[in-house]
A and B are shown apart, each in its own frame.
Chain A
Amino acid sequence: MSAFREGGRFPDASTVGIAATLVALPFVLPSVTLASEVLVFSVAALSCAFLLGMVGLLSFGQGLFFGIGAYVSAVLLKDHGLATLPAVAIAAGASAIGAGLIALLAVRRHGVYFVMLTLAFAQMGYFAMLALNHVTGGENGLTGVPRPPLLAGMGALSGSEAIYAFLAVLAFAAYLLVQRVGASPFGSVLRAIRQNEPRAEALGYDVRRFKVAAFALAGLLAGLAGAMHTVFLGFAPPNVIELEMSERLLIMAIIGGAGAPGAAFVGAGFYVVMADWLSTLWPRWLMLIGFLLIAIVLFLRDGLWGGAAAALHRLRGRGHG
């Protein structure tokens, strides 16, 4: 699988590109609501792409942390009367802690065992949600979540444009965070682990601790996305924590390609727009996504982003020749 580029700079041209895309998105897509959905899933897919591209960890469990973020923010907004920004921040923090705790167990196994564990823990999250139905609302989810001001004393968060602007700022912050980590010494160690885990260990790095930290950071991103989802919908439906959510986030990351943080935005955008368009034409469109996934793994290892980059490179090369 592809990986985040060596020694990525921060900020670089892609930072500007993402900022411009975030501004243009609501005008390009048919509705602001659809653009908001793209943002939510971009951040969630970024969580998967970060783990895969930086550390080489394939996670079938990011939906669990997405769900934790969605439920924690819903409970804080609904029952504890918090303002939006602190609720989102606490929800993301809670997901990071949850992810760190699960990682402490999961990093005891390597490779395919680790992947199996992420799937099993994601399934556990769904059953925990059902078991705690007095808090989570069980199969009904948490309805009627209010949208209070960002901070106490500010104006109410109302109108789909204002919500989009808020989500765009959060999505951009998430992008900057991942790009900054990629350019940091911490990021270099993560890449070293991805390339050759025994070697990183032999160099004296405590590989487990780095993996737990990376997993917690990915949990933070997924939790942030989950909280964004609650703010966006005003509702925490039970499907936010189902295993299908984990799968969906991973599919987005793979379609985009794990070669750069921006690829996750491409994958999520592609998936959400396709879902919006195809699901009205053919309810079983996910079958096509299955075939697309096989094609990408077999023929386009670096996803849409990598494919586009390679095509661009070839065009440029021809221009010079």
Chain B
Amino acid sequence: MSGQVLVFQLLNGIGIGMIYFLLSVGLTMIFGLMRFVNFAHGALYLVAAYAAYVVSQATGSMLWALLFGPLAAALLAVVAERLLLRHTYAMPHEAQILITFAVALIVQEGVILVFDPLAKNVPVPDFLSGIVFLGPFVYPAYRLAVVAVSAAVAVLLWFALERTRFGAILRAGSESTEMVSLLGIDVHRVFLGAFALGGALAGLAGALAAPLRGVEPFMGLEALGIAFVVVVVGGIGSFTGALLGGLLIGVVQSVMSSLWPEGARLMIYGAMALVLLVRPAGLMGRA
């Protein structure tokens, strides 16, 4: 593999990795806060990608799609939490997993019902459809924009978690929900906020990914598998872990796709198996 191809694939990998980070950070955050595994997390990504498809068809503008995708996902997360999920917090993990899995199934079938099972293309926004010259390299502008947007969101999110009151409550809640509750904070509103935020982030991942990979009804399930790999590799409950895990998986997938195209996806799981073997708790995980 020549140097130029390697740099190209590394950049691609960072772009994919940042999308994987956005996808997984909400899952890991919600788990850290309430020990709740959301098997419907991939459905949020799915709904946002389809919302982006509809909006970009209707308005011809990807910018609106980037706004409405996350909004649709956050809305779904909030509705699901209010109507169903909050009644399962006291149940065993198995029950939560099965119920959220059923929600994912219902959303997936709903998407096929409204649209159809076929894959659809989402156009790259006009003003980002060109290429950018980076010194001696040329690179698609949209992919560069994905890296820039997701990096900006990652910084904002870090700032929100570390420097705001809501972030402090979230972090305290993941240490001890009971203590936070005793301090007079309504934890149920915090949970709802965490679901909305996690949904919006997964939604942003779905909307950003839509022009890169198109949309199809089973992308939610695939995304769920990827998010699990990211949190297993990075260590669950950790912001840095999700970032490292996402980037590592994205780069492995991208670099392998030029070395062994048929096996690129397989190597993601190979990387996960390797991490499990040498560091079972994940890169940033607490044992």
Residues of A participating in the B interface, judged by any CB pair closer than 8 Å: 1, 52, 58, 105-106, 108-109, 111-113, 115-117, 119-121, 123-124, 127-128, 130-131, 133, 243-244, 247, 254, 284, 286-287, 289-291, 293-294, 297-298
Contact = CB atoms under 8 A, between A and B. Distances in A.
Contacts, number: 107
A254 B98 contact: yes
B106 A290 contact: yes
A117 B266 contact: no
A244 B222 CA distance: 11
Contacts of B232: 109, 113, 116-117, 120
B113 interface: yes
Looking at B92, B103, B228, the one whose CB has the most chain A CB atoms below 10 A away is B228
A183 B228 CA distance: 36
B134 to A, nearest CB: 31
A210 to B, nearest CB: 19
A163 B3 CA distance: 58
A246 B49 CA distance: 25
A291 B106 contact: yes
Contacts of A112: 31, 35, 37, 93, 97
Interface in B211-247: 218, 221-222, 224-225, 228-229, 231-232, 236
Contacts of A116: 37, 228, 231-232
Interface stretch (B57-65, B149-157, B270-278): B270-278
Given A131-B263, A297-B98, A121 B269 contact: yes
A291 B102 contact: yes
B171 interface: no
A247 B35 CA distance: 23
11 contacts: A105-B273, A105-B276, A116-B37, A120-B228, A124-B266, A128-B266, A243-B225, A244-B218, A290-B102, A294-B84, A298-B99
Contacts of B126: none
A297 to B, nearest CB: 5
Given A112-B93, A133-B262, A286 B109 contact: yes
Interface residues of B, number: 43
A226 B285 CA distance: 37
A127 B276 contact: no
B105 interface: yes
Contact of B105 (A1, A106, A109, A290): A290
Contact of B94 (A58, A121, A123, A290): A58
B45 interface: no
B231 to A, nearest CB: 7
Interface in B79-99: 84, 92-95, 97-99
A320 to B, nearest CB: 34
A123 B268 CA distance: 10
A284 B109 contact: yes
B105 A120 contact: no
A52 B94 CA distance: 10
Nearest to B280: A108
A238 to B, nearest CB: 13
Given A58-B98, A105-B277, 18 more contacts: A1-B94, A58-B94, A105-B273, A105-B276, A109-B232, A117-B232, A120-B269, A120-B272, A124-B273, A131-B260, A131-B266, A287-B105, A293-B101, A294-B84, A294-B103, A297-B95, A297-B98, A297-B102
B43 to A, nearest CB: 11
A287 B106 contact: yes
Interface string B104-131: 0110011011000000000000000000
Nearest to B218: A244
Contacts of B268: 127
A289 B277 contact: no
Looking at A108, A120, A123, the one whose CB has the most chain B CB atoms below 10 A away is A120
A297 B95 CA distance: 6
A109 B232 CA distance: 10
Contacts of B218: 244
A119 B95 CA distance: 16
Contacts of A117: 228, 232, 276
